[in-house]
Every structure is written in structure tokens, then in C-alpha cells.
Chain A
């Protein structure tokens, strides 16, 4: 490398490199350091001890929140696949006109541009006891009096989060389905396989990478959400992010909150690396 290219490399590289070190690497490290500190209300004392992690393991309320969050994120991802797969399949294999295909694709992606907070809020106004769904069901005579079963429970959270994150499921599945060469499907049909067998043996396996990518994205996004639980989750709807937020807020125990955030970080990184491995396996089969 000549001196000139070295200087050029330095000029291009140093702003992003400095930024990532100062605003990403250092803060994550500080978070890690905080997680070993002790909280002496209302202060935090520097220390090196595993008490915060011990609390997370031994106090059942944290384990419960974690399991609840995993369950909700799992249900959201499954519901999103169930809705997104047929939709993406329809766009790629059933719609012939490119204009219609683009319009239907944009129809799913467009809501991403509309405020996430407001999209979650509108479900609160629909599902509430005084809400639009209840009053609609009463005015049509289906219900006699307003029901409280729609809002402030896990179903409402799964519904809202699925609604908010479904574009992240449609996009990768669509991309994966679009990449399948039509000749492979034709070959399967010519060799006498039925439509369903062709789907099961050719289309589905080849689109699995997209499903995995979408599943990972949807899972991680709903796993870290704290707005839907706040709006539609109700009293026992708190998820991990809500608990972290309260440790950094009213509960004023930053060390414990940091430890919980690191547990979340490790879980998310674990999920991503497992899904990376699966995706690579899928690519290996395609090539």
C-alpha cells in the first residue's frame, strides 16, 4: 500500500470507525460494566459482583417476564408467517401483471412508513371496552353489553405486534420466492408431481431461507418491543423491555437493568447467529 492510498483509506474509514467506537463500542462496554455494579438506593456503587445476574436467575418474576416475552415473540412470528407466506406466494406465482404485483407489494410495505406508535394506538381504540369493535358488535346485535375480552391481554399484544411487524416477514419471503427459477417448478410438474407435492418438495424448501430471515427479524423486533405491551398489554403484559425501562426509570436500579439488557442482547445475538447458520445451510442446498 502506498502512502497516498493509506491516507485515503484513513480519511474514508476514520469517521465511521470513530463513530462506531465512541457511540457503540464504548456504550455497550459501559453497560457491561454497570451490570456488575451494586445499587444502593438512590445511588449506584462501582463493584465487581454477580449479584444482579443472580437476582435475575433466582427471582421468579424476571424468569416469568422472560418466558412471557419469548412466548409472545414466538406467537407473533408464527402468526406473521401464516399471513405473510400465502400473500408473498400469491404475488410471485399468481399475479401475472407486474404493475399489480408492485402495487400489492407496496400495499404491505407502505404501512412501515406510517408511525408505528399510531398503528399500535389504533388497535387500542378498536379493541377497548368503549372501543369501536365493542360498539360495532352491540349496534349489530351480536353483543348485548360491551366485552372486556378484546383488550389488555396476550392475544391483543400478539395481534398488534403481528400487525406492526408483518412487512418484515413479507419482504424476505417474497425475495426468496422470486429467486426460485420457474423451470424447477415446471420440471416437477412435468415429472408428474401434483401442485401440492411440487409446493412441498420444491417451492417450500427453496423459500425456507426467506422464512428464516423473516422469522428472525419479526422475533427480534417483537422481543425488544415495549410500546405494544404498554398500550394493549394490560397489568400482566409487561415484557422484558418494559422491565428494563422501569429499572432505568422509576425503580432506579440501573445495574439490574443493565444486566437484564445484556441478557436480552446475548439472546438476540444467539438467535441471529443460529438463523445465520440455517440460512447458510439453505444457500448451500440451492447452489
Chain B
């Protein structure tokens, strides 16, 4: 009796100690991956406050000089405004085209639908450089000068796939009976779209819009080929990097990290509101 109990105890001890060991291993592995993901971002932000111009360890002191330099850098501020303009217009355009495209893919049947879907979704996996050079070739062939507006068209095209996939996924979960009921009750198609369909897919549209805005704000491969004399913020940073590394870039980076964090929190809150309402 005694020995049997002892054996059971031993076995329990052994499983709990292997469990402990596996728990520790898991924590180390996950901790290491998180460190890999976040140490570089910490480094980026930390060195924006470094008083010395060189980015090397240990830090020499804390300063806000690099931020002051940013605030006085007119080229950079102009690039920032350009980027906000481009991202706002590109997001609006891509939503105006992407939402109907998702509706058409979900609700309509028409000849050539398969090809249409493939073409719309292509830029998700297609390297941005191909969108960039193919549009550059077209604009040059038709004699259109490059400008921020050509960049907007390029971004809207590249981001269409993002909007379509997100909105399409939501439409598929939305029962068709809602719209049928609205139409049966005498509401017109436009009315039905505005007051039945759109409120139901609202969070997907907002989410896709936020994502498109961020991606456009950060875009390089398409912008690189389609911009004229005006620079967007990433293009300005890119051209600064060609000249070498400076803590000023870190300061821009730290501000972008901050803005991204605010956007992420917003979208998580939106998602939560959305899942509560379901």
C-alpha cells in the first residue's frame, strides 16, 4: 500500500518536474522571439535620444536635439505633408473602388469574373516593383508627367487587393437575407446599400482603410518609380539614408513608432467593439 502510494507520488513528481522544465523552455523560446522582434525597435527609439552623432554603445547622454532638428527641417516637413496627402487620397480612392469590387465578387455573377478576381488580388503577392514599373511604362508611353497624383493612382492600385480581401471576407459572413428583406420591404438598392449593407460591414471597411493608409504612408517600391519632383516621407528618409546614418532618422522612426502604436490601439478597440456587437 505504502509502496504503491510512493510510486504514484514519484510519478506525479516526475510529471510535474518535466512539466516545469517544458514550461521554462517555452518561456525562454517565446521570450527570445519577442526580444528578436522588439529589441531593434527599442534600439531605434533609444538612439533617437542619444547626444552623440554616432550610433554606438554605450549612449553618451540624453538629448532632444534630433527632434528639434526635425522640427526645423523644411524638406522633411514638406515630405510629411506630401505623404499625408498621398495616403489620404489613395485610401479614399481604393475604398471607393475596392468596396464595389468586393460586392461584385461576392454578390454578382458576370462573365470574366474569375479573371477579374485574379487580377484584383494579384498585387497582394506581386512584388510592388512590378506594379511600379508597369505603371511607369504606361505613363511614359502616354506622355503623362510623373507627380504625386501618379503616385496616388499607383498606391490605390497596389492596395486594392487589401481592401477587397478584407471587405469580401466580411460580406461572406453577412447573410443575404438582410438585403433581400430590405429590398422586399420596398427600399431601393442604394438605400439598401447605405442603410443595411454598409453598417454591417463598417468595421471591415474602417479596418481596411486604416491598413491602406499605413501601407500607403510607408510605401517605397511603387513610389520610387512613379514620383516626380516631390518626395514622400519614406522617399525622403531613403534619400537621407543613402548619405549615411544619422540620429535624425531615428527620431523620425521614433515618431512613426508612436503614431503606429496609436493606430494599432485604435484598430484593436474597433475590432473589440465589433466582436461585442456580434
Judge: A and B partners, yes or no: yes
Q: Which residues of A contact B (CB under 8 A)?
A: 8-9, 12-13, 15-17, 19-20, 23-28, 30-31, 34, 83, 86-87, 90, 94, 104, 106-108, 110-111, 113-119, 121-126, 128, 130-132, 134-136, 139, 163, 166, 216-217, 220-221, 223-227, 231, 241, 244-245, 248, 254, 257-258, 261, 264-265, 268, 272
Contacts of A34 in B (CB 8 A): 137
Instruction: Report yes or no: A31 in contact with B137, Cβ–Cβ below 8 A.
Output: yes
In the docked arrangement, what's the CA distance between A166 and B33, Å?
10
Contacts of A94 in B (CB 8 A): 26
Interface string of B128-146 (1 = CB under 8 A from A): 1111011111100100000
Q: Is B62 an interface residue (CB 8 A)?
A: no
CB distance from A135 to the nearest CB of B (A): 4
Beyond known contacts A86-B30, A245-B129: 7 more, CB 8 A cutoff: A8-B189, A106-B264, A110-B260, A122-B40, A224-B128, A226-B129, A226-B221
Chain A residue, CB-CB nearest to B258: A114
In the docked arrangement, what's the CA distance between A127 and B135, Å?
36
Contacts of B131 in A (CB 8 A): 27
Instruction: Report yes or no: B133 in contact with A125, Cβ–Cβ below 8 A.
Output: no
Q: Is B208 an interface residue (CB 8 A)?
A: no
Contacts of A104 in B (CB 8 A): 30
Instruction: Report yes or no: A107 in contact with B34, Cβ–Cβ below 8 A.
Output: yes
In the docked arrangement, what's the CA distance between A142 and B273, Å?
51
In the docked arrangement, what's the CA distance between A217 and B34, Å?
21
Contact of A216 with B125 at beta-carbon distance under 8 Å, contacts A16-B120, A117-B218, A163-B40 already known: yes
In the docked arrangement, what's the CA distance between A34 and B140, Å?
12
* Range of interface residues on B (Cβ < 8 Å): 35 or more
6 A–B pairs (Cβ distance < 8 Å), ordered by A = A16-B98, A23-B153, A28-B134, A115-B260, A119-B44, A139-B57
Instruction: Report yes or no: A272 in contact with B125, Cβ–Cβ below 8 A.
Output: yes
Contact of A19 with B157 at beta-carbon distance under 8 Å, contacts A122-B253, A135-B56 already known: yes
Instruction: Report yes or no: B238 in contact with A117, Cβ–Cβ below 8 A.
Output: yes
Contacts of B104 in A (CB 8 A): 9, 12-13, 16-17
Q: Is B214 an interface residue (CB 8 A)?
A: yes
Query: Which of B44, B47, B234 has the most C-beta atoms of chain A within 10 angstroms of its own C-beta?
Result: B44
In the docked arrangement, what's the CA distance between A173 and B177, Å?
33
Instruction: Report yes or no: B96 in contact with A30, Cβ–Cβ below 8 A.
Output: no
CB distance from B17 to the nearest CB of A (A): 16
Chain A residue, CB-CB nearest to B34: A107
Instruction: Report yes or no: B141 in contact with A166, Cβ–Cβ below 8 A.
Output: no
CB distance from A82 to the nearest CB of B (A): 10
Residue B44 contacts which of A122, A130, A217, A227 (CB distance < 8 angstroms)? A122
Q: Is B268 an interface residue (CB 8 A)?
A: yes
Instruction: Report yes or no: B256 in contact with A15, Cβ–Cβ below 8 A.
Output: no
Residue A24 contacts which of B30, B37, B157, B220 (CB distance < 8 angstroms)? B157
Instruction: Report yes or no: A265 in contact with B130, Cβ–Cβ below 8 A.
Output: yes
Contact of A248 with B136 at beta-carbon distance under 8 Å, contacts A106-B268, A113-B264, A115-B253 already known: yes
CB distance from A86 to the nearest CB of B (A): 6
Contacts of B238 in A (CB 8 A): 117, 227
Query: Which of B40, B96, B119, B253 has the most C-beta atoms of chain A within 10 angstroms of its own C-beta?
Result: B40
Q: Is B75 an interface residue (CB 8 A)?
A: no
CB distance from B118 to the nearest CB of A (A): 9
Q: Is B237 an interface residue (CB 8 A)?
A: yes
In the docked arrangement, what's the CA distance between A265 and B252, Å?
34
Chain B residue, CB-CB nearest to A225: B127
Query: Which of B133, B136, B138 has the most C-beta atoms of chain A within 10 angstroms of its own C-beta?
Result: B133
Contacts of A126 in B (CB 8 A): 40, 43
Contacts of B217 in A (CB 8 A): 115
Instruction: Report yes or no: B103 in contact with A261, Cβ–Cβ below 8 A.
Output: no
Contacts of A25 in B (CB 8 A): 119
Contacts of B108 in A (CB 8 A): 9, 12-13
Contact of A114 with B116 at beta-carbon distance under 8 Å, contacts A86-B29, A244-B129 already known: no
Residue B237 contacts which of A19, A24, A118, A254 (CB distance < 8 angstroms)? A118
Residue A12 contacts which of B44, B100, B250 (CB distance < 8 angstroms)? B100
